[in-house]
Amino acid sequence: MVADPLPTEGLRLYRTMLRIRRCEEQLVQAYSEGLIHGACHTYIGQEAVAAGVCAHLTRDDVVFSTHRGHGHALAKGVSARELVAELFGRVTGCSRGRGGSMHLFAPEVGLLGTSGIVGPSILQAAGAGYSFKLLKNGRVAVAFFGDGAVNNGAFHEGLNMAAIWRLPVLFVCENNQYATEVPFSYAAGNASVAARGTAYGMPGVAVDGNDVLAVYAAAAQAVARARAGEGPALLECLTYRTRPHAEGMGDFTYRTREEVESWKARDPLLLLRARLIDGGVATEAQLAQLEGEAAEEAAEARRFAENSPWPDPASATTHIYATP
Amino acid sequence: MYRAVLREEPAQVDALHLLGLVAQQRGRPAEAVQWISQALQHRPNFAEAHYNLGLVYRECGQLEAARACFERATSLRPRYAEAFYNLGNTLKDLGRLDEAVAAYQRTLRLRPKFAKALNNLANAYREQGRLEEAAATFRQAIACDPSSAKAHHNLGLTLRALGRFSEALEALDKAVALASPFAEAHNARGTTLQALGRFDEALAAYEQALAQDPQLADAHFNRACAWLRQGDYQRGWAEYEWRFRCKPFAMPALPGTAWNGSAQPGRTLLLYAEQGLGDTLQFVRYLPLVRQRVGRVILACQPALVPLLRASGLCQQVTALGEALETYELYASLLSLPHLFGTTLENVPAPRRYLQADAQLAAQWRERLGGVKGLRVGICWQGNKAQAFDRLRSFALRDLAPVALVPGVRLVSLQKGDGSEQLAGLATRWNIIDLGPDFDTAAGPFMDTAAVIEQLDLVISCDTAVAHLAAALGVPVWVALAWSADYRWMLHRDDSPWYPSMRLYRQTRPECWEDVFDRMGAELQKLAAEKLAAAAPAAGTATPAEGAMGAVGAMGAAAAVPAAAQTPATAATGAMDTAAAMGTGGATAGAILVEISAGELLDKISILEIKSARIREPARLANVLRELEMLHTARQRSLLESEPLAKLATSLREVNEQLWQVEEALRACERQGEFGAPFIELARSVYRLNDHRAELKRQINDLAGSRLREEKSYGC
């Protein structure tokens, strides 16, 4: 294997996952208080995927994400302040308060957009990869998408084009096993997403998406491969969201409490935390300090968002038409 | 009338000012300066007077004085668009480009549709190399004045420089529709069409340019290249002589007489190089022919080629361009020799080899590279960036992935200067041999390069000097060519009449290298397997990888797959290519597609590799190689390669080697009827080795995340 990432990367990955988790918890709370307008899909339970993949990306690499994109935004470098303010609809948000939960956009850190539509990230990342290839700039594009996207036409088109043009793209399927409330096993003729990679002429690798070190190791190979011009790869990260599809939705008509609890026991943060302690990489005190910092960052982001101004109503029509 | 006013009122400022303007209109600038200055004495804050004084100074070429006047005018009236505009023009003439741009921008903020200001700003951007902004600004200028052929022409030239040829063509089409005659625009249309690979139309455009201006040297030169590209050498080389009247190729002023190619024994001829290093390497082949006609030859070439060409012994004296020369009577350009020798496609002088590396350096490199296993392939991906169409002809190192990933290939970087920074990420990943920073420093440029090339099986290069050098050394070279390739490579052919050891791989779509290197990769896979097989020892002792070391230069025979091995495969070529393209086995009739684990794949590959090194009979070997090629492709397409995976694959290969040997030893015992202790030991080792093999396969499956697991079950 590549050298065990635990000693060198463990803390960094833990910190990224923590920052996402604490932010999401703030957002859950704020949603119940009516501070968030529009839908709010949290990433709780899936943090290992964003953390493990984005750890290999530079600021110049780009990420295209889904309706469940808060984690990708934070892992790619959007600040907690800008994220929370965006969901609060404030002008200090990363999309100036115009996007909300599903339209996060921060090109300055390579977050080229989250989307409420299922599947476009696949084609967008292929397009970005095509551009990088023409410009010969060594950059890499990543598409995050869920299991609900892999039976879309976009998946077929995007993977095929990326393979024939050998584009520097990493396709990351976060298989959290439910497309909203439809089980993947019900909707898929082939229950393995990873196995489809081969059909398109690219490596397809399945990893435990709750094991951030496993995600990290697989992504390391895939990103290096893309950067070397050897072409795209498909990563299937088997994971689980432990919150409902969106805040405010019911949860147990399509899955059981037992199932949710069993996955909570495999929480990616808990798994890594135990390994950091067992491996002697960090002490309880060090981790507690990190946890405190992450909680404070999220709380501070919320205060910042609440105190931020709303967009000027007079600007409602700006960005609608291109300026001549 | 103004004078009448002044008689009444000598300090009437307007009259003084207007008298100045009249004087200027009458072509008396000194007088104009006097009158306007007087006006300014009486009213120092008179912005228009400062502005007009600036115009007078500018006309007389007193640029500094003009600039001061315009600055004064603009500071007095900050919304004075014309003053900013003329300040811009003056600064530009003074060579203060950045300030000129700022002045134009200021002008345009005040008057956004000022067509001339837009045009001049765009030209300033172009001079600054800010081509994107220049193009956008030319477009704005055109929006203000759509009938300006010049603006369309300028836009076209800018877009062409940006490599946006289709858009450039559109602009140039408009330019020639708006103005006639406009020979320069027709000529630019031609080069744009040429870049788009529309060669016939390009030639027609040059003809049109020449119909409008028969003396337009650039169009003659371009037409020459077009004719040469078509293989019309008779007209082409003669027309190519027009280059001397083109700015970039202007002939140096030389004493002596231009040589006409006639026999002049007893006289000395100076041959001088021009254009790129590759041009020199290509045309020094004429030197032996030249020496048959004149007494003595001096070659003046680029300094970088002096040591190599001195060592070549091609002529009596080699000197660097620009250095002092001994006396000579005649001169000619190296690139005029095809013309002077009446070269046609039928009589291109093409010896298999006309340069050689320094013998001592070659021996040193032979030793240094002695331990390098596999098919040695030199690579060079970046030409001189200053060349006009470099962006099109050079490729990125990472485009070479399909070549780099061919098993049994070892890449050797021949890249120097620009582009070598790309090695940083890839040298370790692809195990590229980087010859180090001392390369070519001690003995001089190209000296080590030539010596290393002689140790290689093949060179893969973009259209640059290294390709010429390898071919001149007689080493097989594959050149990756752009959609619109240089004239010398002609059209639609994959060989060159100039170089017997060269093979051309052309882009089949503009700016797309994929299929170029996919094709090379597929060819290389065959070559690497052949080399492996050809070099295998008769007895099965050494490992095939070591065996592969022995034969260097087996590919000298034109980099071809031996016919014997090719025949059986050829029948199935179509199906095989499809299968290879599909990675995991194409849907060939009769094919059975089934998922296998990574361990199984690598196991099967290692066994086929062992077989390919031992089986000699061509038809059987071809069967093995065919399957091996498919599996290699599947591996490349399906597995994420990593160091640990490579290590496991090597271990698996070793175990299978041992099993092979055990099997042979067992059969030997069987033949001799010896079933004693050695036989028992051998038999027992089979299951021990097989257990080890299963364990390695399991580890590979874990690493690759294979869904399939091989399970073993033995009775206790």
Backbone angles phi, psi at A290, to 5 degrees: -60, -45
- Distance from B196 to chain A by nearest Cα, in Å? 17
**pLDDT of B583:** 39
Q: Provide CB contacts within 8 A for B703, sequence distance 6+.
A: A1, B598, B642, B644, B645, B648
Interface contact B641-A207, CB threshold 8 A: no
Instruction: Find the DSSP H helices in B479-590.
Output: 514-534, 544-547, 563-571, 573-582
Which DSSP string corresponds to B594-617?
----HHHHHHHHHHHHHHHHH---
Give, as one character, the DSSP assignment of residue B370.
Answer: T
Q: Which two tokens stand for residue B486?
A: 């240089």
Q: Tell me how far apart the alpha carbons of residues B402 and B633 are, in angstroms, rounded to a whole number.
A: 10
**Interface contact B573, partner A, CB < 8 A:** no
Give, as one character, the DSSP assignment of residue B371.
Answer: T
Query: How many residue pairs from chains A and B have C-beta atoms closer than 8 A?
Result: 74
- B684 in the same domain as B606: yes
The answer to whether position B164 is within a domain reads yes
* R_g of chain A, CA atoms, integer Å: 19
Q: Tell me how far apart the alpha carbons of residues B113 and B137 are, in angstroms, rounded to a whole number.
A: 11
Please identify, among B191, B214, B237, the residue that sits at the C-terminal boundary of a domain.
B214
Model confidence over A119-134: pLDDT tens digits? 999 999 999 999 999 8
Please identify, among B190, B214, B238, the residue that sits at the C-terminal boundary of a domain.
B214
| CATH code where residue B138 lies | 1.25.40.10
Please return the burial class of B508, using the count of CB atoms within 10 Å of its CB with bins 0-12, 13-18 and 19+.
exposed
- Let me know: does B192 contact B163? Beta carbons within 8 Å: no
* B468-477 average pLDDT score: 97
- B91 in the same domain as B36: yes
pLDDT band at B529 (very low <50, low <70, confident <90, very high): confident
Q: Which residue type is seen at B574? A: G
**pLDDT of A50:** 98
- B257 in the same domain as B209: no
Of B396, B637, B642, the CB nearest to A221: B642
Q: Which residue type is seen at A256? A: T
Interface contact B398-A227, CB threshold 8 A: yes
Q: Which residue type is seen at A65? A: S
- Partnered with residue B282 across adjacent β-strands are none
Give, as one character, the DSSP assignment of residue B486.
Answer: -
- Distance from A311 to chain B by nearest Cα, in Å? 28
- Could you give the percent of chain B with pLDDT greater than 90? 69
The answer to whether position B711 is within a domain reads no
- Mapped onto helix, strand or coil, the DSSP state of residue B348 is coil
- Tell me which chain B residues have a C-beta less than 8 angstroms from the C-beta of A218: 640, 705
- Tell me which chain B residues have a C-beta less than 8 angstroms from the C-beta of A164: 514
Which DSSP string corresponds to A182-233?
EEHHHH-SSS-SHHHHHHHTS-EEEEETT-HHHHHHHHHHHHHHHHTTS--E
- Mapped onto helix, strand or coil, the DSSP state of residue B367 is helix
- Smallest CA-to-CA distance from A129 within A151, A156, A160, A105 is with A160
A:203-222 residues touching chain B, CB 8 A cutoff? 203-207, 218, 221-222
Residue that has been written with the tokens 């080699």 in this structure: B318
| CATH code where residue B265 lies | 3.40.50
**pLDDT of A211:** 97
- B157 in the same domain as B20: yes
Domain with B35 in it: 2-214
Nearest residue of B to residue A236, measured between CA atoms: B705
- Tell me which chain A residues have a C-beta less than 8 angstroms from the C-beta of B429: 224, 228
Model confidence over B644-674: pLDDT tens digits? 888 999 999 999 999 999 999 999 999 998 8
Interface contact A1-B641, CB threshold 8 A: no
- Let me know: does B113 contact B144? Beta carbons within 8 Å: yes
The answer to whether position B715 is within a domain reads no
- B394 in the same domain as B290: no
**Interface contact A128, partner B, CB < 8 A:** no
Say how many C-beta atoms besides its own lie within 10 A of residue B342's C-beta.
Answer: 12
**Interface contact A58, partner B, CB < 8 A:** no
Backbone angles phi, psi at B413, to 5 degrees: -80, 125
How many residues would you count in chain B? Answer: 716
Model confidence over A32-52: pLDDT tens digits? 999 998 899 999 999 999 999
Of A194, A227, A231, the CB nearest to B425: A227
Q: Which two tokens stand for residue B386?
A: 């200053």
Q: In chain B, helix, strand, coil percent, each to 5? A: 60, 10, 30
Interface contact B398-A138, CB threshold 8 A: yes
Of A2, A134, A206, the CB nearest to B642: A2
pLDDT band at B712 (very low <50, low <70, confident <90, very high): confident
Lowest mean pLDDT among B213-217, B485-489, B523-527, B538-542: B538-542
Where do the domains of chain A lie? 5-308
Please return the burial class of A296, using the count of CB atoms within 10 Å of its CB with bins 0-12, 13-18 and 19+.
exposed
> What is the number of domains present in chain B?
4
Model confidence over B101-160: pLDDT tens digits? 999 999 999 999 999 999 999 999 999 999 999 999 999 999 999 999 999 999 999 999
- Distance from B336 to chain A by nearest Cα, in Å? 37
- Distance from B638 to chain A by nearest Cα, in Å? 4
Q: Decide if pLDDT at B714 tops 90.
A: no
Of A164, A202, A229, the CB nearest to B398: A229
What sign for the dihedral angle of Cα A304, A309, A310, A316? negative
Interface contact A198-B584, CB threshold 8 A: yes
Of A201, A222, A229, the CB nearest to B640: A222
Q: Average pLDDT of chain A?
A: 94
- Could you give the percent of chain B with pLDDT greater than 70? 92
Q: Which helix (H) or strand (E) holds A144?
A: strand A141-146
Q: Which helix (H) or strand (E) holds A288?
A: helix A284-306
**pLDDT of B254:** 86
**Mutation for testing the A interface, residue in B398, B632, B647, B648 having most A CBs under 10 Å:** B398
Q: Which residues of B99-130 are buried (b: 16+ CB within 10 A; e: fewer)?
A: bbbbbbebbbebeeebbebbbbbbbbbbeeeb
Interface contact B582-A201, CB threshold 8 A: yes
Interface contact B396-A136, CB threshold 8 A: yes
Model confidence over B569-628: pLDDT tens digits? 333 333 323 333 333 334 455 567 777 899 999 999 999 988 888 888 888 888 888 888
**Interface contact B642, partner A, CB < 8 A:** yes
**Interface contact B433, partner A, CB < 8 A:** no
Please identify, among B165, B187, B214, the residue that sits at the C-terminal boundary of a domain.
B214
Q: Is the ipTM above a cut-off of 0.85? A: no
**Interface contact A131, partner B, CB < 8 A:** no
Of B401, B581, B641, the CB nearest to A166: B401
Interface contact B396-A207, CB threshold 8 A: no
* B419-446 average pLDDT score: 88
**How does strand A233-238 pair with strand B257-258?**
unpaired
**Interface contact B637, partner A, CB < 8 A:** yes
The answer to whether position B713 is within a domain reads no
Q: Tell me how far apart the alpha carbons of residues B434 and B413 are, in angstroms, rounded to a whole number.
A: 5
Of A166, A195, A207, the CB nearest to B707: A195
Fold of A5-308: Rossmann fold (3.40.50)
More confident residue, B610 or A21: A21
Q: Which residues of B171-199 are buried (b: 16+ CB within 10 A; e: fewer)?
A: bbebbbebeeebbbbbbbbbbbbbbbbbb
Q: Provide CB contacts within 8 A for A172, sequence distance 6+.
A: A49, A53, A142, A143, A144, A145, A219, A235, A237
* B221-239 average pLDDT score: 97
- Tell me which chain B residues have a C-beta less than 8 angstroms from the C-beta of A230: 398, 401, 405
pLDDT band at B425 (very low <50, low <70, confident <90, very high): confident
Q: Which two tokens stand for residue B267?
A: 């006289």
**Interface contact B586, partner A, CB < 8 A:** no
- Distance from B580 to chain A by nearest Cα, in Å? 10
The answer to whether position B674 is within a domain reads yes
- B685 in the same domain as B661: yes
**pLDDT of B558:** 30
Interface contact B707-A206, CB threshold 8 A: yes
- B480 in the same domain as B380: yes
A:225-254 residues touching chain B, CB 8 A cutoff? 225, 227-231, 233
- B410 in the same domain as B325: no
Model confidence over B30-53: pLDDT tens digits? 999 999 999 999 999 999 999 999
Q: Decide if pLDDT at B338 tops 50.
A: yes
- B408 in the same domain as B343: no
Q: Provide CB contacts within 8 A for A141, sequence distance 6+.
A: A61, A62, A63, A64, A124, A125, A126, A128, A129, A132, A167, A168, A169, A170
Q: Tell me how far apart the alpha carbons of residues B495 and B499 are, in angstroms, rounded to a whole number.
A: 8
The answer to whether position B46 is within a domain reads yes
Q: Decide if pLDDT at B535 tops 70.
A: no
Q: Decide if pLDDT at A277 tops 90.
A: yes
Calculate the dihedral angle through the C-alpha atoms of B608, B640, B652, B654, rounding to the nearest 10 degrees: 80
